Amino acid sequence: MKVEQIYTGCLAQGAYYITSHGEAAIIDPLREIQPYLDRLQRDNVKLKYIFETHFHADFVSGHVDLSRKTGAPIVYGPNAACEFECISAYDGQIFEIGKVKIKVLHTPGHTMESTTFLLIDEKGKDHAIFSGDTLFLGDVGRPDLAQKAANMTQEQLAGMLYESLMNKIMPLADDVIVYPAHGAGSACGKNMMKETVDTLGNQKKINYALNQPDKESFIKAVTEGLTPPPGYFGMNVAMNKKGYASFDSVLNKGMTSLTPEEFEAAAEESGALILDTRSAGQFTKGFIPQSINIGLNGDFAPWVGAMIVDVNQPILLITEPGKEEEAVTRLSRVGFDNVLGHLKGGYDAWVKAGKETDSIKRITADEFEKVFQPKKDKVVDVRKETEYAAEHVDEAYNWPLAYINNWIKDINPAEHFYLHCAGGYRSSIAASILQARGYRNFTEVGCGFNKIQKTSVPCTDYVCQSKVLKS
């Protein structure tokens, strides 16, 4: 028996590959399936089952394409009403892979069909659980994503999750390994650890949710402090439930190479969003007017989902040469399949063609230190509330990037402000959106608070409630 965790850092997502005596199972695969096909061929094993812990909201799974290519059936837990052929397993059902078994533990609460898969080894011993979004390391799945579909409140779902954990997970032995679907950085939880594997015994000791004295306390603890889920989540659930275009066709379309003239014409004719995936430093020096900058070297796909929201939005790509396939692939992971093509030769080709360009006024922390006038200049901090609360520029406004569509309307175009995040990635996204919507009276501090706090600019950890944006 072999278990391999295939972890994708930018999505904080774990897929799992299990083999035993010539047969294999894959749990929660990513959209692009070639890495799994390569493993099957390498190990000379047959894929017997594709297991899905639930209908994922934060990414589009590769289950449909993988089933098409291999003929392996897709297995969900109870209550899974797929719009494609799948097995909706019953609680306690056993599936055999070589000489090991996978037992279905129905654990609703995060969603109604949420299921934990228990791996039983060749000797009949409980070896590991693939807990999906039911149990994370340090946390549990948020219970507010399936409210409408389940016709239940988040409190009711949290109560259901409590029963699932107490009755199905906690009775398992302490040495059982926990393999979750996500780790730190995922929007599917609020308190996840950076580690991606642990024992259940350790989680019983340190996981705050598993250490609540009663059901009422559990419900309060897991529902407290939940931020609104990204807008694209519902669309990803629908794609995972209904099916989607093949990844191969999405990639072929996105790899269409366009000259500057063709790119310009496509933008005008289609109303496509121009997405520039270069680094913030490259982007701010020069870009195609109206472009939005979300760099590949960061949490690219989640921020695309949070900022663009509509997965059907036509997109035209600008990338560093050679990064086109990576960009299309990572967009497809969160359901953005409508990439019309990319600019051949990248931004340099646009400049050489004599086309119009734009730029953003960006300064360093040292330059900011020299020009900043405390109690006079306005500062907008687009970091998360928790980052701001820890420390921030004195009297800065906390307007998190995730809520830009809420606060952008409150900007006074006549009032200059300084804009920053932690290191420049998020502030560049915000700056590009601001300029695309006509706001230009600002200066971005490109290296962010990480460098600002090392200057003489006055900072504080006092949270002025009137300056914290409430979503």
- Name the token pair of 290: 């109206």
- Name the token pair of 365: 């922390």
C-beta atoms surrounding 351 within 10 Å: 14
- Tokens 């590959």 locate to 17
C-beta atoms surrounding 406 within 10 Å: 14
Q: Quickly state the pLDDT bin for 17 (edges 50, 70, 90).
A: very high
- Identify the DSSP state of 446: T
Closest CA to 448 of 403, 384, 358: 384
Q: Quickly state the pLDDT bin for 231 (edges 50, 70, 90).
A: confident
Higher pLDDT, 286 or 146: 286
- Name the token pair of 188: 């599917």
Instruction: Please give the average per-residue pLDDT across 276-296, as a whole number.
Output: 97
Q: Yes or no: say if 358 and 289 are a contact pair by the CB < 8 Å rule.
A: yes
Closest CA to 305 of 324, 287, 332, 280: 332
Distance CA 293, CA 351 (A): 17
Instruction: Please give the average per-residue pLDDT across 419-430, as a whole number.
Output: 98
Q: Quickly state the pLDDT bin for 278 (edges 50, 70, 90).
A: very high
Instruction: Please give the average per-residue pLDDT across 221-226, as a whole number.
Output: 93
Lowest mean pLDDT among 49-53, 261-265, 306-310: 306-310
Q: Quickly state the pLDDT bin for 327 (edges 50, 70, 90).
A: very high
- Name the token pair of 247: 């990844």
Does residue 464 surpass a pLDDT of 60?
no
The rounded mean pLDDT for the chain is 95
- Identify the DSSP state of 402: G
Q: Quickly state the pLDDT bin for 462 (edges 50, 70, 90).
A: low
| Domains of the chain and any CATH numbers | 2-234 (3.60.15.10), 245-352 (3.40.250.10), 362-467 (3.40.250.10)
Q: What is the pLDDT of residue 225?
A: 87
Does residue 20 surpass a pLDDT of 50?
yes
> Which residue type is seen at 247?
F
Distance CA 389, CA 169 (A): 35
Does residue 343 surpass a pLDDT of 50?
yes
Q: What is the pLDDT of residue 54?
A: 97
Asked whether the whole model's pTM tops 0.85, one would answer yes
How much of the chain, in percent, has pLDDT values that exceed 70?
98
How much of the chain, in percent, has pLDDT values that exceed 90?
92
Q: Yes or no: say if 179 and 128 are a contact pair by the CB < 8 Å rule.
A: yes
Q: What is the pLDDT of residue 239?
A: 96
Q: What is the pLDDT of residue 461?
A: 76
Distance CA 95, CA 364 (A): 58
Distance CA 77, CA 114 (A): 7
Higher pLDDT, 298 or 71: 71
Does residue 471 surpass a pLDDT of 50?
no
Higher pLDDT, 156 or 467: 156
Does residue 418 surpass a pLDDT of 50?
yes
Three-state secondary-structure class, residue 225: coil
- Identify the DSSP state of 416: -
Does residue 28 surpass a pLDDT of 50?
yes
Distance CA 244, CA 464 (A): 46
Write out pLDDT tens, residues 144-180: 998 888 899 999 999 999 999 999 999 999 999 999 9
Q: Yes or no: say if 45 and 23 are a contact pair by the CB < 8 Å rule.
A: yes
Q: Quickly state the pLDDT bin for 466 (edges 50, 70, 90).
A: very low
Residues 6 or more apart whose CB falls under 8 angstroms from that of 315 comprise 272, 273, 274, 275, 308, 331, 336, 338, 339, 340
β-sheet bridge partners, residue 87: 75
Instruction: Please give the average per-residue pLDDT across 342-371, as a whole number.
Output: 98
Does residue 350 surpass a pLDDT of 80?
yes
User: Kind and range of the H or E element at 342?
Assistant: strand 339-343
Q: Quickly state the pLDDT bin for 468 (edges 50, 70, 90).
A: low
User: Kind and range of the H or E element at 203?
Assistant: helix 200-206
Q: What is the pLDDT of residue 228?
A: 85
Q: Quickly state the pLDDT bin for 10 (edges 50, 70, 90).
A: confident
Q: What is the dihedral of CA 238, 242, 248, 249, to 10 degrees?
A: -90
Q: What is the pLDDT of residue 227?
A: 84
Does residue 445 surpass a pLDDT of 70?
yes
